[in-house]
Chains A and B, each alone.
Chain A
Amino acid sequence: MTTYAQLRQRAEDLAAPLPPLLAEAEHLAQAVLLGSHGRRRSGMGDEFWQYRPARAGDEARMIDWRRSARSDAHFVREKEWQAAQSVLIWVDEAQSMAFSGDRNRTTKADRAKLLALAMSVLLIHGGERVALAALGTPPRSSQLQLLRIAQHFTAEKETEDYGTPVIRIMPPHSRALFVSDFLGDLDGLERQLTRAADRGVRGVVYQILDPLEEAFPFDGRTIFESMGGTLVHETLKAGELKDRYMERLAERKARLADLAQATDWQYACHHTGDSAQSALLWLYGALERRR
């Protein structure tokens, strides 16, 4: 297990080449948290928006005297209303994620944590707010939040065989990123996605699989065990099962894609054999995408 400092370092390295990610800020009207996304209307914010003639009711301290001195009327300096996006990240930390098909290949969990933290780094650099579902804290945009996330990822935990997303706080109209292998029960995910869709939350369902799980290169008499040992399946000719296994895997992927489409989420599958950089690029694009 890597220490959180190493994990953070690697994540920072991975995130370094990308420009700060500005997640799409859409329908932020109800979002109360301020961020760096201009709303194209006057409001609270740091950026200058417009001068408007002072109206009755404007306090005297609101008048911009420098501008007003150049003409006869009084002007009020208005700033652009800015708001930050909140992104909720859930990473599956169940034991099934600890699988790696090859000694030289990273585990699925490592890849998932790396990607999640890299996204967090990008988002926080971009001024967004990030929350990790497992932490239960509201979205924050501080470096401290990054530290917390990293610390959480590196902490030892007792977990079950397969994970389902458990989201306690889900700010409305925020964004979400679910990272898992989704090999367990999909009902929990379906509930969460439906709930998210109800609250106007959109996001990405990101499936991470080991190449071995895609290829099923086994043969002969084999006893398959889940990582926790709760599920056991014995076969005498593993090679014969390959086709049916592949069929089921394809079904599962299709179901995930359907779920995502129904709830206006995005779905993608990533293999630990591929580069993390391309995965991050895709996630970047998916979270940034405007509708």
Chain B
Amino acid sequence: MFTIGSIGFTAPWLLLGLLALPILWLLLRAVPPAPIRRRFPGVALLLGLEDDETQTDKTPWWLLLLRTLAVALIILGFAGPVLNPTDETAGDGPLLIVVDGTWADARDWQRRVDRISAALDEAARLGRPVALVRLTDLPAGELPFQAADAWAVRLPSLTPDPWEPDADALTAWTETLPDERFDTFWMSDGLARDSRGGLLAALEARGTVTVFESPRSVFALRPAGFDEGNVAVSALRTRAEDPATVTLAARGLDPAGIERQLATAEFDFAAGETGADVELSLPPELRNRITRFELTGIRSAGAVTLTDDALKRREVALIAGRDDREGLELLSPLHYLEQALEPTADLIDGDLLDILLANPDVLVLADVATISAGEQEPLLDWVDQGGLLLRFAGQRLAASDVSRNEEDPLMPVRLRAGGRNIGGAMSWGEPKALRAFSEGSPFFGLAIPDDVVVSSQVMAQPDPQLSERVIASLADGTPLVTRKRIGQGQVVLFHVTANAEWSTLPLSGLFVQMLERLAVSTRPAQPSAEDLAGTTWVPDAVLDAFGQVQEAGTMAGVPGERLANAVPGADMPPGLYTGEDRRIAVNVVSAETELAATVWPARIVVEGLAVLQETALKGWLLAGALVLLCLDILASLWISGRLSQGLRGAAALLAVLLLVTPRADAQSEEDLAAVLATSEVALAYVITGDARLDGVSEAGLRGLSDTLWRRTSIEPADPIAVNLETDELSFFPFLYWPVTEGQPLPSVEAYAKLNRYLRHGGMILFDTRDADIARFGQASPNGRKLQQLARALDIPPLEPIPADHVLTRTFYLLQDFPGRHSSRDVWVEAAPADAEQIEGMPFRNLNDNVTPVVIGGNDWAAAWAIDERGGRMFPVGRGFAGERQREMAMRFGVNLMMHVLTGNYKSDQVHVPALLDRLGQ
């Protein structure tokens, strides 16, 4: 292969063709563009006109250049140019590709895969068998040597794991390596690990080892912790040469339940430093929402640290039943609680009802006996919604009658009167120690110190449920701690005081652990193995190697002892683990993790991940030549004056394309419907589900719309069908609602919408359509249905339409309101009781509003209805009288719409003279 710089040619002899270019230049130059022959009568006027210049006789130089370039590109293209030609001199024999496959790989995973792909391609060319091994997922048995193609197929599914290789397993696997010779490519993740040395030695014993490693630094985030009230986060990196800045983002759910970035901070790595710290000062509300911290822009599980209860500080409200005695702090019922909770929780004190407004996580009542009835209700609600009510016994509780005969709702058990004293000066027996916690207890697994003894306690009445409510008991079996669940919350009673008067429990570390298990306090640091002994933790969410949080699904639980180890592995992927009341995060990087860059012995070849891709340029060159030739066509057309036609065609094509391009800002269908409904006045009817009836309603409103258009200045659009459940009602001034028996009742939301509609000036015309068979108020099926429909509607008192109602004169002067039937029972909102007729006035000064409903049974829509050709759809009455009745129905419709749209305008006394005139009085 003939190479110039980084470009090689597969057929270099063709380049000699470039020598022919000057000859081509001369040839092309001599040939001018061909003339066009045109028939043109105006030639008579052209005779004798001379051209000013004759230079276009020859091809212009730039066109020549264009053509020569095109030809040169074609010659170069066929000479087969290749960018970065690879002349590999690779080895032979089997090839082992070792991939660390840890979270540190994730950031550059695609590049690693590309590099492996290149290695596989090369191996495939050379026919070397390949085995691909991921150290985080070691293959059992022999090395899986296969054809490189087979691996290439599986390559896309190769993913890193969010943990590091298990050193023991790796050592064991190293010993099982076969004795045959093979070369090794090691895709290192760049982190120093003790286990590397043994494997490297074993691989070197079997062939050459080449290491591929990214020179980029690996970033990791340590778990967040508290530092004097601030959230402290620290980040690590492996390479310390240059200063760097990385952004930390705290993510969590906002009050609307949407995950977003709650806070950001910058890590500034100084040159030479591998660590950087940041402190975030966040309000507790915000801090409690944080679910994880991550380094933005770094896709790696190491750059994400999940937060658990350790970062949350519970709000604990403390209420004591006894006034604090001045100076006797150690006897204060709350002193030990405060001491135990201060470091890990936010304490609130105040009045019980005020505290409940703050919605604390835990409410501690130390020796509070009675709770007033007014307080009991909100307290129960609060517990029901997940609050933890923690009660301690004491003198008062022992002396009171609380939960004596009847179980108090806020006590877990009934209490015997008085309690008992053991081991005191006036009693027999020794102070009792605690019995080991049973398996169902939240305290199961906690070690009980010997010095915890109880000398006084309140006693629980034996009850059927007592045994299941006991979560801790004394050595003699009497309950020490009882618990009752209420809704999502619970009430826990310690049968001893919160201070050291009755027992030594508050003095011991067990007290703090118990509070922690009850999620009263939160653990300050990583829990120890004995803390977690005997518990099982279910993964809630897990991290993948790329730092994405994923649903855990039905993954198996993890025993607490394993969790205490806190080093993630295949059996315990990093993530958030949920116990009974608490959550513990297992992160890839723990607080003790140190990162160090790998150091390889000098004899090992370390390569970067960059793959020099061999690129054939032939296609590009030929495409370039094609483009130039196209340009040449355009230029030739232009020179010979034939471009105008082509341009016109191109413009037409462009116009067509523009027309075809869909409008990007197309409005949603809903918006269009809203615009349609609001751009003009439109009458609307309620869809009943009966297709025939809906058709009649539609036709009726169309007929009324036509009449309005012809006779009045109301020019309505086509009627609109309204679905009460889905459509917005506020666009319509008027709803026609025919009542049928089979109509479904609207949903609660639809009723809310209807009531809002009625209260804000909408009008509904209810039509039972049965005035021919039933007088109003008598029980017809439709009438009963109407009662059902209207029960939930906010309808004011009604009365039969009075003779001086404004509906009788909004446009026409009417006495009757017939439809297809001519019943006189039409009901509207009742007039106010104090409405009185003024002397000399023909009508009272009635309601100031539009009546929200008009109810009748005259089947108006049928009387109004017209078909497509404008003919009447239904007969009304007989002969002339029938036509008169239809006309009156139309007039009622007009009056009704006028009433809807102009309100009480016609009841204004200004119109009295004109109306009197028309009434002939």
Contacts and interface: CB of A to CB of B under 8 A. Distances in A.
Nearest to B40: A224
Nearest to A95: B41
Contacts of B37: 222-223, 225
A153 interface: no
B46 A220 contact: no
Given A220-B640, A223-B35, A235 B49 contact: yes
B12 interface: no
Interface string A129-141: 0000000000000
Contact of A244 (B49, B56, B644): B49
A188 interface: no
A217 interface: yes
A221 to B, nearest CB: 4
Contacts of A97: 41
A40 B640 CA distance: 67
B46 A224 contact: yes
Contacts of B34: 221
Given A221-B641, A236-B54, A236-B56, A245 B38 contact: no
Given A222-B36, A224-B46, A181 B41 contact: yes
B426 to A, nearest CB: 125
Contacts of B639: 220
A1 interface: no
A48 interface: no
Contacts of B918: none
A235 B49 CA distance: 9
Interface in A230-261: 231-241, 244-245, 248-249, 252
A216 interface: yes
Contact of B42 (A213, A223, A232): A213
B39 interface: yes
B49 A233 contact: yes
Interface string B628-642: 000000000001111
Contact of A237 (B41, B45, B56): B56
A231 B43 contact: yes
A233 B43 contact: yes
Contacts of B52: 237, 240
Contacts of B36: 220-223
Contacts, number: 105
Interface string A197-224: 0000000000000101100111111111
A4 interface: no
A234 B43 CA distance: 10
B33 interface: yes
Interface in B34-86: 34-47, 49, 51-54, 56-57
A236 to B, nearest CB: 5
A227 B38 CA distance: 9
B56 A183 contact: no
B32 interface: yes
Query: Which of B34, B38, B644 counts the most A-chain CB atoms under 10 A from its CB?
Result: B38
Main secondary structure of the interface of A (DSSP, over half): mixed
Interface string B336-371: 000000000000000000000000000000000000
Nearest to A241: B49
B39 A252 contact: no
A238 B42 contact: no
Interface residues of B, number: 28
A252 B53 CA distance: 27
Contacts of B44: 96, 162, 183-184, 226, 231
Contacts of B33: 220-221
A132 B7 CA distance: 83
Contacts of A49: none
A227 B37 CA distance: 12
A99 interface: yes
Contacts of A248: 45-46
B41 A213 contact: yes
Contacts of A225: 37-40, 43
Contact of A252 (B40, B45, B56): B45
Contacts of A181: 41
A267 to B, nearest CB: 18
A52 B34 CA distance: 85
Contacts of B644: 217, 219
Given A221-B640, A223-B36, A249 B41 contact: no
A252 B44 CA distance: 11
A61 to B, nearest CB: 63
Contacts of A244: 49
A184 B41 CA distance: 9
B43 A219 contact: no
Interface string B467-500: 0000000000000000000000000000000000
A249 B42 contact: yes
A96 B54 CA distance: 30
A99 B54 contact: no
A94 to B, nearest CB: 9
A223 B42 CA distance: 12
| Among A222, A225, A234, A240, residue most surrounded by chain B Cβ atoms (within 10 Å) | A222
Interface in B119-175: none
Contact of B641 (A99, A212, A239, A252): A239
Contacts of A184: 44
Contact of B41 (A222, A227, A239): A227
A189 B805 CA distance: 91
B648 to A, nearest CB: 11
B58 to A, nearest CB: 10
A99 B32 CA distance: 29
Given A235-B51, A236-B51, A241-B49, A224 B642 contact: no
Nearest to B52: A240
A97 B49 CA distance: 23
B59 to A, nearest CB: 11
A240 B35 contact: no
A162 B41 CA distance: 9
A249 B639 CA distance: 26
Contacts of B54: 236
Nearest to A222: B36
Contacts of A162: 41, 44
B51 A233 contact: no
B381 to A, nearest CB: 85
Contact of A222 (B42, B45, B641): B641
Query: Which 8 pairs between the two chains have the least Cβ-Cβ distance?
Result: A220-B641, A219-B641, A96-B41, A220-B640, A221-B35, A224-B43, A248-B45, A233-B46
24 contacts: A96-B41, A99-B39, A183-B45, A210-B41, A212-B40, A217-B644, A218-B40, A218-B641, A219-B644, A220-B639, A220-B641, A220-B642, A221-B640, A222-B38, A223-B36, A224-B42, A225-B39, A226-B41, A226-B44, A231-B43, A238-B641, A245-B45, A248-B46, A249-B42
Interface of A: 96-97, 99, 162, 181, 183-184, 210, 212-213, 216-227, 231-241, 244-245, 248-249, 252
Given A210-B41, A226-B39, 9 more contacts: A96-B41, A183-B45, A221-B640, A225-B37, A225-B40, A225-B43, A227-B41, A232-B43, A236-B57
